[in-house]
Amino acid sequence: MKFRRTFQLLVSAGALAAVALTGGPASARSYSVTAPGPANLSQGVTTITTSGISAAPARAGDPCRTNWTKVVHYQPAGIRAWTFKATTRWCWNGVTVTYHKTTWSQNVTWTGYHIDDQGWQGGWKTFNCYVAAGSTRKCSGNHEVVVGNFGTNSGTVGGGAGLRVSIQQWENYHGVYLHSYKVVGY
């Protein structure tokens, strides 16, 4: 219990430092990280999320950004088991989102694979554009869902032996980025 409280205090201190880093609009060298979300305690494990934003080179004169959301899964002793990250580079022109590209990356540690029995089992992404609030233009907003499955080393995906991470990202014609995530057992 003492370890968990110490860990939560460290996360809170890190959150305050991260909030202090966030500032005005992103420039070519700017970078910000939002505070980690609240730790989700499930069966003695901790999942922490962070997200960030940085300016990206303009594309056809339109401003661009790169945003990411990362979910890190820890074991009770604070040992990282795996990481899943969604990254989107996108541009806008004040009317629509003019460009987007979403990728994902994952990493399973030795501990995650051999002790936690959580190997990478695959993933996918989906995309749709929508009419964002305040606009009447199709594709004035984008929405991506990136899903990653971490399951047993025996490959019994869908057999009730794994965790599914779902990261959702939204971008709109004003240059606004929003995100959420969920980790559920399957």
Chain segment 131-177, per-residue pLDDT in tens:
999 999 999 999 999 999 998 755 544 455 788 999 999 999 999 99
Q: pLDDT band for position 76 (50/70/90)? A: confident
Q: Which amino acid is at 126?
A: T
For the segment 121-139, the average pLDDT, to the nearest whole number, is 95
For the chain, give percent helix, strand, coil, nearest 5.
15, 55, 30
Q: Which amino acid is at 11?
A: V
Structure confidence at residue 154 (pLDDT):
55
Residue 4 has pLDDT above 60, yes or no: no
For the segment 75-97, the average pLDDT, to the nearest whole number, is 91
How is the chain split into domains, by residue range?
2-185
Structure confidence at residue 51 (pLDDT):
85
Give the C-alpha separation, 21 to 32, whole Å: 6
Chain segment 30-56, per-residue pLDDT in tens:
334 444 444 444 455 577 888 888 888
- DSSP label of 18: H
